[in-house]
Structure 1
Amino acid sequence: MDSPPAARVPKVFLVRTQIDAILADLAEGDSVPSERELANRFGVARETVRHALRELLVEGRIRRRGRGTVVSRPKLTQPLSLRSYTEGAISLGRTPGRILVAWDDIAADDPTAADLELEPGTPVMHLERVLLADGERIGLESTYLPLHRFACLRGSYDPTTSLYAAIRATGVEFAGARERIETVLAAPREAGLLECTTALPMLLLHRRSVDADGAPVERVRSLYRGDRIAFEAMLSPVSA
């Protein structure tokens, strides 16, 4: 029986492999050759090079700087655990930060009310903040808290710091959480706040946390740039 013909290797893959070899010899912040230079070097169309570079941008290997492209630093890899973004970033040697976008009291919609075990329309505290790592915008976080439990934060909490630390300071301890992760594209407003395009893949996290009594503490929606952050988890065997 004849062997099946070998699959044709896409030209973009070949160009991507060659660019990978170039990046391996460059350091963080070094300039990447231009599209025109790469197209001439490899004897391909600029659109082929553009496609390969777009893949590397999405993966976070390179980033735009001004009108050029440079080698990016490795992604921030966050462990999936019951701690704040601030704590996770510091543990990885990065400098966390936050920019306050909104801090207001709103009426809980049905999903928020269900997660916080409230009646729909009950006032909840809402904080929306841009997450920073070493000054770079990497995420957008919206947190919803039961107002009757955490109204005291209004007079004491600095929204550019860790919210988890402030909640613990009120005597509330986090005991567990349910978290779901999915891939999405950012809405135009979200892309603007994160200084990226709407075509960039995002990681969307939904979290519901409870205290030691099982009472809801928070509902969180976190949107992260897929080119700047990754998540990992420690897994243990379970019995069948």
Structure 2
Amino acid sequence: MGTTQLETVPETKYWHLKQVIGEALDSEFAVGEILPNERELAARFGVARATLRQALEQLELEGRLQRRRGVGTTVAPPRMGVAVGAAGNGWPGSSGDAWQAMDCTQEIPPAAVADLLGAGLDEPVHVLRRSRMYSGQPVAADLLYVPAASVPDLSAIDIPDGATRARAVLRELQRLGFEGEDRAVELGSARADDAKQLDRLPGAPVLLVTTRYFGPDGRTAAVSVATYRADTCRLTFGGDVEFHSGDERKAS
């Protein structure tokens, strides 16, 4: 990487530095290559380490860099395209569902989720923990909240907490009937438990996709809060789920 005189640049220092480093990533570094440490980079560009960290954090947010435990900062591979439009999706647990059920417990949902469900703040619901993988790597973690009213026959099934009960909840949910869904997408920060599951650092940028599933009576039957790695995933709208890597490009 070359040096640059940032003092004469009218735009924010860290933003210009981000652009300079981004150009170097394209021309001088390969995917997976480890960047020099912060001290070396700050000295090379003649900037404070705080300015350098801002630039690196922005590049991580844009999916150009990855911070890996015990490794350092590496050049990220191209993001994988994940469709989040209604077409090609549907009821959780239905044919083609890419999520793997891992666990199921009964818990009081967060207030925002309880509001979406129309449930009381002290009313426990089934909470399914699910994971999504690609090429052996975790790309997303999901919490699926299902109120007891959506699976009324589950009480007769004597299954302990765990993946088996999660699958039972999904099977019962299928009986209810699926009438539609809506989604909201926002940028967020990885919570400690999500970060561990996704092999990220706590506070790393993530994409949060909140989905409400509607039953035949039009009421909210379940709510999914999915956390996608912002450094490896890009969200597309409409079409089936597709993953893209390298130079491959497919319409979504």
Say whether the 8 Å CA contact 2:176–2:215 is kept in structure 1: yes
* Cα-to-partner distance string for 1:99-143 (whole Å, 9 max, x where unaligned): 73x412346787656644667766632212344333334333111
CA RMSD of aligned residues (A): 4.2
How far residue 8 of structure 1 moved from its aligned partner, in angstroms, is: 1.3
TM-score (norm 1): 0.66
Q: Secondary structure at the match of 2:179?
A: strand
Deviates more, 1:146-155 or 1:200-209: 146-155
Q: Secondary structure at the match of 2:41?
A: helix
Is 1:175 aligned with 2:182?
A: no
User: Aligned pair in 2 of structure 1 residues 126, 169: CA closer, same or farther (>3 Å)?
Assistant: closer
Partners of 1:14 and 1:110 in 2: CA distance: 41
User: Aligned pair in 2 of structure 1 residues 215, 51: CA closer, same or farther (>3 Å)?
Assistant: closer
1:147-158 alignment, distance < 5 Å = 147=148, 148-149=151-152, 151=154
Higher relative contact order (CA 8 A, sep 6+): 2
How far residue 72 of structure 1 moved from its aligned partner, in angstroms, is: 1.0
Amino acid at match of 1:22: A
Amino acid at match of 1:13: W
User: Aligned pair in 2 of structure 1 residues 175, 47: CA closer, same or farther (>3 Å)?
Assistant: same
Amino acid at match of 1:133: Y
Q: Which residue of 1 aligns with 2:241?
A: none
Q: Which residue of 1 aligns with 2:233?
A: 229
Q: Which residue of 1 aligns with 2:247?
A: none
Partners of 2:120 and 2:91 in 1: CA distance: 29
Amino acid at match of 2:26: A
User: Aligned pair in 2 of structure 1 residues 99, 18: CA closer, same or farther (>3 Å)?
Assistant: farther
Partners of 2:118 and 2:18 in 1: CA distance: 50
Say whether the 8 Å CA contact 2:65–2:231 is kept in structure 1: no
Is 1:62 aligned with 2:62?
A: no
Partners of 2:62 and 2:82 in 1: CA distance: 16
Is 1:17 aligned with 2:31?
A: no
* Cα-to-partner distance string for 1:77-98 (whole Å, 9 max, x where unaligned): 32222326999xx99xxxx664
Q: Secondary structure at the match of 1:56?
A: helix
Match of 1:50 among 50, 53, 58: 53
How far residue 167 of structure 1 moved from its aligned partner, in angstroms, is: 4.3
Q: Which residue of 2 aligns with 1:103?
A: 104
Amino acid at match of 1:209: Y
Amino acid at match of 1:183: L
Unaligned runs of 5+ in 1: 1-5, 235-240
1:131-150 alignment, distance < 5 Å = 131-147=132-148, 148-149=151-152
How far residue 41 of structure 1 moved from its aligned partner, in angstroms, is: 4.0
Unaligned runs of 5+ in 2: 1-7, 239-252
Say whether the 8 Å CA contact 1:176–1:210 is kept in structure 2: yes
Deviates more, 1:32-41 or 1:66-75: 32-41
Say whether the 8 Å CA contact 1:75–1:230 is kept in structure 2: yes
Higher strand fraction: Structure 1 or Structure 2?
1
**Equivalent residues, number:** 219
Partners of 2:50 and 2:118 in 1: CA distance: 52
How far residue 176 of structure 1 moved from its aligned partner, in angstroms, is: 0.7
Q: Which residue of 1 aligns with 2:246?
A: none
1:147-226 alignment, distance < 5 Å = 147=148, 148-149=151-152, 151=154, 159=163, 167=171, 170-214=174-218, 216-226=220-230
Say whether the 8 Å CA contact 2:146–2:223 is kept in structure 1: yes
Say whether the 8 Å CA contact 1:109–1:121 is kept in structure 2: no
TM-score (norm 2): 0.64
Say whether the 8 Å CA contact 2:85–2:236 is kept in structure 1: no
Say whether the 8 Å CA contact 1:97–1:133 is kept in structure 2: no
